[in-house]
Structure 1
Amino acid sequence: MYRSHSCGELRASHVNTEVTLSGWVQKSRDKGFVIWVDLRDRYGITQLIFDEERTPKEMMEKAKSLGREFVIQVTGTVIERESKNAKMTTGAIEVLVSKLEILNASVTPPFTIEDKTDGGEDIRMKYRYLDIRRNPVKDSLIFRHKVAMEVRKYLSDQEFIEVETPYLIKSTPEGARDFVVPSRMNEGQFYALPQSPQTFKQLLMVGGMDKYFQIVKCFRDEDLRADRQPEFTQIDCEMAFVEQEDILNVFEGLTRHLLKEVNNVEVEKFPRMLYDDAMRLYGNDKPDIRFGMEFCPLIPKGETFGFSIFDDAELVVGITVKGCANYTRKQIDELVNWVKRPQIGASGLIWIKHEENGNVKSSVNKFFDEDYLRFFANEMKAEKGDLMLVLSGETNKVRTQLSALRMELAERLGLRDPKVFAPLWIIDFPLLELDEETGHYHAMHHPFTSPKPGQLALLDTDPGAVKANAYDLVLNGNEIGGGSIRIHDKKMQATMLRHLGFSEEDAKAQFGFLMDAFEYGAPPHGGLAFGLDRLVAILGGQETIRDFIAFPKNNSGRDVMIDAPAFIDDAQLKELSLKLDMKA
């Protein structure tokens, strides 16, 4: 028996009990006549004691040889500590060791295995198995497990059935780039790794499964960032014989359940916002509604302002920052420089202060008299002590720029409290999105999304005006889930694919299996997929997903621990019928 107890469970009630513990040496303190060793496992830390009076000399020498991260087994008696540590759950006791065995020695680790380590991100990713020993990463993985278990519990109680779908599937031209896998037995042909189980879950609805879910790996070959990985995990769900309202109610329930069981937070309101209103008021389709700063378009008093920066603009819009009229010129210049960065791309920023004394000052005083400035303050509902920030230009660009500025200010002002949760449904997305470079439309979600009832005819006359029967669930400014009511009629699906530029032959080659299935009594159906990695991070009070994934990739999509991706040898290439010079 390697252990009778874990390193986190011994208490004062165990005094005089003989125990066996196993774990890693966190640290040791050698005072010559006495040695203390902190022994760590997943459950906690227990202090061990060796002393000259009660410990044989041979064992004392062995204890002196212990280094950090040695794996050891000890047997001993639990005794009361003379100097108790109230910060440790085991701080009332220590173990007087009678037997010590070194199970495995360790070289000195490249960084300290402590909550606040001296290791940089790159070195910790290279030695991820060591990083996992640290409490912040270990606790994040345990937290992820808890969330996943609560998801399974809730959905199972709602009569959802977990079904596994294939990982080796067919590549399709929609969505992000596929990761492809060559087939040895089918020369020149390739599988693709699924970007989602979309078509399979629809086929399960045709198969009568009624309510399906799966916590599933998905793969997208796209650019990475803090909340994106080439392989990620979805809570993938589908339901038959449902309308949008049914789906929103079920997954509001799941979100409430998670917030209550995982965070002990009660959330009652799940407001709904039209996509068009989200763009108009916040400049993006995943607004953080924990704070204000809604966009306010500035309406001219006359036909023009006599100010070209406004008059030549497609949109003039601003936000009011409460209580910040006392910003210094240096602070405002920082904001101006921030929006001018290439990542934001604004040409400048206009500021207006509604000062505590009632005066209204701005960076454009020479262009606008006080009446105009007060008009702006009135339009923007600015009160004494408030700061107004205004951008102008092309509508979509200005909205994106001001949205980024709004979030930056919220971070600086501490308005994004990770312990406060504000969910929001965004509904009525456009069905199609125009690619300005090619002039062609593509599906904003995916080609299986149904248009809103009664809008199908608009595809022929005004495709950009068609709304999708689609919805996203936003939490604290992050999209955590999205879905739609699907097309379940072969004729409608063919029409949709035609408008997306598929020829009849291409549509049949790519999606014929799905449209054929629709001929065998496909029920109305729809679903939603949560991004588990992002959801777990937000519930855990963070927005970076990496620490909630056991073995993540870096920002270049590499696993620096196992050095992947990597070249394969010529024999493998030949076996796969790949003749490319991969090493060129």
Structure 2
Amino acid sequence: MAESMKGLHRSHRCTEVTKEMIDSEVTLMGWVQKSRNKGGIVFVDLRDRSGIMQLIFETGCENGIDEEGFEKAGKLRSEFVIAVTGIVEARSGAVNPNLKTGEIEVRAKSLRVLSESETPPFPIEEDSKTREELRLKYRYLDLRRPDLQRNLMMRSQVTTLVRAFMAKEGFLEIETPTLCKSTPEGARDYLVPSRVHPGCFYALPQSPQLYKQLLMCSGYDRYIQIARCYRDEDLRADRQPEFTQIDMELSFVDVDDVIDVNERLLAYLFKEVLDVDVQLPIQRMTWTEAMNRFGSDKPDLRFGMELTDISEVVKDTEFAVFKNALEAGGTVRGINAKGQGGMPRKKIDKLVEFVKGYGAKGLAYVAIQEDGTVKSSFAKFMTEEQMQALIQAMDGQNGDLLLIAADKTKLVWDVLGALRLEMANQMGLLDKNEFRFVWITEFPLLEWSDEENRFTAMHHPFTMPMEEDLQYIDSDPGRVRAKAYDIVLNGNEIGGGSVRIHQNDIQEKMFEALGFTKERAHEQFGFLLDAFKYGVPPHAGLAYGLDRLVMLMAKQDSIRDVIAFPKVKDASCLMTEAPERVEEKQLQELGIEVAEAEEE
């Protein structure tokens, strides 16, 4: 039978009790982690969000518990919620060096069972081996695990520190609406029907982009928000349909000003939370350099294995794969997996299958044995001199494995960028305790979409082109670079932003390049364009993915481990079973009829 809290007050959390408090009386409350009844004595591990405290229940001794209390203690089970008042003592048994409270215990004088518990569907323990689907169904139990609790406490600490740092830097925290106008550039919007305006819909914000630019027009000069954002897109380990941004915008600034305040913010966060010193200034790399060296615009710099362009070296070979790629205007590039020359053929075949998942037709390889002999998938098409020139160009040594892709340049970048990470993973080169930051700058302003048969904005339509490239916006739009920048950590883009366009003529040119008519531009973004008629300052901004940033700081593999109630791959919640059908009456009020999907 559950007892009440009447007259009882918790004095400390478990790990707030220290050996300096020996002989003091404390009142602790929490969950029973485990209970061991040894006959005349009951040991209980009490758990709260701070950690574990060992409790002792024993009768007939000084500061001991009465018979009724001892009987209750003997019936305690895992996950019962209890309150205990007792005296802090030095451990009578062996000290536990793995516990913060490993040198002390609390001898219970009184016990209240505040709530009983059924047997949980899985053990509440660190590094749970229970399958994720079951843990997410009972997420309220999963969240009791100490490792998840540490992650969420770190997340809370990060947001508190961000707010404090940015306030000191003169930023104002301003909330923007979450019921917005739909602007379908980019990912799909989540739509919200309006009861008051039948047939009309709000959209949930993909980001506060337009509002924060309007705040700059309104003279607020430095804005910040911990903002909820929504995108109706497919999920990955580092993506959710709803997520949180650390969103900011600054007026009267250029690229270096935004980078400066953010470098200092990152250095402050990593020092305060992890006691890690971030070396400033953070390295910068242009988009073109990143793609050529690493095949990715979010390169992981914790290891080498850089791409080598061997197009010139192999241009005269008879190997059709290389020849055809180069004749079609593509490239031949490769990576050198040091020390992997002895990889069995079966594992190499698996790598071939891996790259096919990124659009490659295949993967050429040269395996240099420890004795210097060469095994290759295409040696018969090469002269001895050509093969040696290739090996030399890729710095091939005895024991190395050279992996080569040939196709359109963008595809080769994608394939080798992914393969480079896969090899680093297999070779154990990814150290979660190392934090390697890099700014990627000078992105292309536009990218061609085969699907839409037009240029689309690589970031968004309000990104400022680099002044020296404006001359190409009509004649060669693909050549124009943007004043855009991403901050990358260990191969993950944790934040991105740009200088915004504040001149009307440039904004019109941008819309033209994107294939917008003036009417369509005004239909979608009229309120922003109108605001720009009344004196707009030069402005720029950046937004971090808070979930992704905390995931890396907490050394986790998925953002689900740093979000309290995450969704799964089909954007559903296993715990609440959302989304689900609603009552017909609700749909009628909104003027909505659900069309049943026809069976195949």
TM-score interval for Structure 1 and Structure 2 normalised by the shorter chain: over 0.9
For 1:162, the equivalent position in structure 2 comes to: 173
Given that 2:51 and 2:146 are in contact with CA atoms closer than 8 Å, whether structure 1 keeps it comes out as: no
Instruction: Provide, for residues 143-162 of structure 1, a one-character-per-residue CA deviation record: whole Å limited to 9, x for no partner.
Output: 11122122222222211111
Which residue, 272, 280, 301 being the options, matches 1:289?
301
> For structure 2, which runs of at least 5 residues remain unmatched after alignment?
1-7
Q: State the match for 1:66 in structure 2.
A: 76
Q: Which residue of the partner structure matches residue 248 of structure 1? A: 259
Q: How far did residue 119 of structure 1 move? A: 2.4
2:92 is the alignment partner of 1:82: yes
Bigger Cα displacement from structure 2, 59-68 vs 106-115: 59-68
CA distance in 2, matches of 1:310, 1:134: 53
Call closer, same or farther: CA 1:583–1:564 in 2, change over 3 Å. farther
* Deviation at residue 330 of structure 1 after TM alignment: 4.1
Q: Which residue of 1 aligns with 2:58?
A: 51
**1:235 match: secondary structure:** strand
Q: Is the 8 A contact 1:360 1:370 kept in 2?
A: no
Which amino acid counterpart does residue 72 of structure 1 have in structure 2?
A: I
Give 3-state SS (helix, strand or coil) of 1:53's partner. Answer: coil
TM (norm. structure 1) is 0.95
**Could you say which residue in structure 1 is the equivalent of 2:143?**
132
Match of 1:32 in 2: 39
Unaligned runs of 5+ residues in structure 1 are none
Comparing 325-334 and 558-567, the one that deviates more: 325-334
1:401–1:23 CA distance, 2 compared to 1 (3 A):
same
Aligned mate of 1:456, from 470, 477, 493: 470
2:358 corresponds to 1:327: no
* Residues 15, 520 of structure 1: alpha-carbon distance in 2 compared, 3 angstrom cutoff: same
Alignment of 1:50-449 (within 5 A): 50-54=57-61, 55-83=65-93, 84-268=95-279, 269-300=281-312, 304-313=316-325, 314-340=330-356, 343-449=357-463
Question: After superposition, what is the alpha-carbon deviation per residue over 1:503-532, rounded to whole angstroms, capped at 9, x for unaligned?
Answer: 222222211111111111101111111111
8 Å CA contact retained: 1:2, 1:73: no
Match of 1:216, SS?
Answer: strand
Confirm or deny: 8 A CA contact 2:251 2:537 kept in the other structure.
Answer: yes
- Alpha-carbon distance between aligned partners in 1 of 2:374 and 2:557, rounded to the nearest angstrom: 38
Change (3 A) 1:10 1:172: same
> Aligned-pair RMSD on alpha carbons?
1.9
- 1-side partners of 2:67 and 2:25: how far apart? 21
Aligned to 2:518: 504
8 Å CA contact 1:293–1:320 kept in 2: the answer is yes
Amino acid at match of 1:327: M
Contact 2:228-2:244 at 8 Å conserved across structures: yes
Q: Report the Cα distance in structure 2 between the residues aligned to 1:127 and 1:579, rounded to whole angstroms.
A: 33
* Post-superposition offset of 1:568: 1.1
Q: Which amino acid aligns with 2:361?
A: S
The structure-2 alpha-carbon separation of the partners of 1:60 and 1:536, relative to structure 1 and needing over 3 Å to count, comes to same
Paired AA for residue 340 in structure 2: C
Is the alpha carbon distance of 1:535 and 1:71 closer, same or farther for their aligned partners in structure 2, counting shifts above 3 Å? same
Matched, 1:517 2:527: no
- Tell me how far apart the structure 2 counterparts of residues 263 and 311 of structure 1 sit (CA, whole Å): 51
Query: How much does 1:27 deviate?
Result: 0.8
CA offset at residue 118 of structure 1?
4.6
- Report the CA distance between 1:356 and its aligned residue: 4.0
Q: Report deviation, 1:447.
A: 0.7
2:473 match: secondary structure: helix
1:373/1:581 Cα in 2 relative to 1: closer, same or farther (>3 Å)? closer
Q: Residues 270 and 114 from structure 1, CA distance in 2 versus in 1: closer, same or farther, beyond 3 angstroms?
A: same
CA distance in 2: counterparts of 1:93 and 1:432, whole angstroms: 63
Identify the range of structure 1 (459-468 vs 47-56) with the bigger mean alpha-carbon deviation.
Answer: 47-56
The separation in 2 between residues aligned to 1:391 and 1:302, in whole angstroms, is 12
Q: What is the distance in 1 between the residues matched to 2:501 and 2:422?
A: 39
Contact 1:270 1:423 in 2 (8 A): yes
Q: 1:19 aligns with which of 10, 18, 26?
A: 26
For residue 566 of structure 2, the aligned residue among 532, 547, 552 is 552
Local SS of the residue matching 1:426: strand
Equivalent pair of 1:567/1:583 in contact (CA under 8 Å): no
Q: CA deviation at 1:312?
A: 0.8
When residues 366 and 72 of structure 1 are mapped into structure 2, their CA distance, relative to the original with a 3 A threshold, is same
Equivalent pair of 1:112/1:118 in contact (CA under 8 Å):
no
TM-score (norm 2): 0.93
How much has 1:105 moved relative to structure 2? 0.9
Residues 1:574 and 1:23: Cα distance change in structure 2 (over 3 Å): same
Rounded Cα–Cα distance in structure 1 between residues aligned with 2:315 and 2:576: 64
1:262 Cα shift? 2.1
Aligned length: 582
Give CA deviations for 1:21-56 in whole Å, capped at 9, x if unaligned: 111111100122211111111112111212343443
AA aligned to 1:443 is A
How far is the alpha carbon of 1:369 from its aligned partner? 3.1
For residues 331-352 of structure 1, what are the alpha-carbon distances to aligned partners after superposition, in whole Å with 9 as ceiling and x for unaligned?
4344334334xx2343332222
Which SS does the other structure have where 2:469 is aligned? coil
